[in-house]
Homo-oligomer: A and B are copies of this chain.
Amino acid sequence: MTGASGASRPAAEDPGAPGDPAASPVGEFELLERLAPRLAPDGPELPVGYGDDAAVIDLGGAAACVTVDAIVEGRHFVWELSTPDDVGWKAVAVNVSDLAAMGADPTAAVVALGRPADLGASSVEALYDGMAAAAAHWGLDLAGGDVVRTDQLVVALTLLGRIDPARAVRRRGARPGDRLVCVGSLGAAAAGLELGIAGHRTPEPLLAAHRRPRGLVTAGRALADAGTHAMIDISDGLGADLGHVAHASGVAIDVWGASLPVPPEVWEAADALGKDPWSLVCAGGEDFALVAAVAPDDAAEVARRAGAAEGVPAAVVGEILESEGEPRVTLHLDGQRRDLRRLGYDHYRDDDPRDQGGPT
């Protein structure tokens, strides 16, 4: 027999409370490491377990590549800059990007929609229009979902795709000597968001990059077919995401700043915002570019083909080196070196409308 205990929400006495370093992304990554023992590693029925862009599940006769990313009001979009239609599109696109980073082929999605009381039915329809448009664009089925009342709009979309488990490209697998290939440009989404929030005039390509990102499925498949050793999509920022690759592959990574594909509007945006452009380029996040470790002889040609397949910039932007113990990601620029993982950390703020970096 138990009555109401009078107990309230569990106390935030432990790391993760507001203002606590654990609420920062480094803390968040630490938290994810603390959670890892509860999650399933690779196994016979789980060819790719916890800790990659997507999991791969053996269903007996075929495998499903599956990922879930949630889009949250005030973190991944603001109503000042995005319509409900944009939000629906983005919920699909960010997940398409995760499957692209495995070399998978998106097939179907289900969505859990947390709907605040003041989001009217027409807005919900518009949000579904955006999801349906993205689903049509990438040739996948929107197969259903759940609607529940919440205080804040949350769109948690799960995407399934087809994959040959033996050919899934992972975060691990990068080899010393590999070249780093980047397909898609960097800094545009963060520049669009920051200019828009600050009320500056915002070039349409930057705003579009924030509002309606692309997921580079065709490039991902081209990179996988070319025998890419490791791959990730850039959601948290180049520094943080290459940190995952360095950690998973047990390597160091050099990035050549002058080679990174950065639209000219991003430099102008950094000027207008009075901020270090490299924080937009390397730590802004939500670029949904793909970065891949490719054997050195093939890299330039592989980059060219993958970029051409999507009509986006692509380049060889660095190289993989032997590990020196701790994972290291270094930006080389004008003869100087900067720690790219730290750049990501420095510019991550708790009020920043971005993800906290949960790997699937």
Contact = CB atoms under 8 A, between A and B. Distances in A.
Interface residues of A, number: 115
9 contacts: A17-B117, A38-B125, A40-B135, A46-B143, A60-B162, A66-B110, A66-B143, A117-B350, A148-B355
B150 A57 contact: no
B4 A199 contact: yes
B2 A149 contact: no
A39 B142 contact: yes
Interface string A137-171: 00001111111111110101010101000000000
B144 A80 contact: no
Contacts of A60: 62, 162
Interface of A: 1-18, 22-23, 27-28, 31-32, 34-35, 38-40, 43, 45-46, 49-52, 55, 57, 59-64, 66-70, 72-73, 75-76, 79-81, 83-84, 107-108, 110-115, 117-126, 128-129, 131-132, 135, 141-152, 154, 156, 158, 160, 162, 196-204, 207, 350, 355-360
A72 B72 CA distance: 14
Given A14-B121, A118-B17, A158-B158, A112 B70 contact: yes
A355 B135 CA distance: 26
Interface of A, secondary structure class, is: mixed
Contact of A45 (B22, B23, B51, B107): B107
Nearest to A128: B38
A110 B35 contact: no
Contact of A117 (B23, B27, B45): B23
Interface centre among A2, A67, A128, A162 (most CB of B within 10 A): A2
B358 A80 contact: no
Given A4-B202, A16-B122, 13 more contacts: A4-B80, A14-B122, A16-B124, A28-B147, A45-B141, A60-B162, A68-B145, A69-B146, A70-B112, A70-B154, A143-B360, A151-B151, A158-B158
What number of copies of this chain does the assembly contain? Answer: 2
A350 B72 contact: no
Interface centre among A45, A63, A108 (most CB of B within 10 A): A108
Nearest to A199: B4
B141 A49 contact: yes
B148 A356 contact: yes
A3 B201 contact: yes
A119 B28 CA distance: 13
Contacts of A18: 117-118
Contacts of A23: 117, 149
Contact of A156 (B7, B57, B112, B350): B112
Given A55-B110, A144-B360, A158-B158, A131 B38 contact: yes
Q: Which 5 A-B pairs have the closest CB atoms?
A: A156-B156, A61-B62, A40-B141, A62-B62, A55-B143
Contacts of A8: 79-80
B149 A356 contact: yes
A150 B152 contact: yes
Nearest to A192: B2
B144 A359 contact: yes
B68 A110 contact: yes
Contacts of A129: 38
A16 B142 contact: no
B10 A120 contact: yes
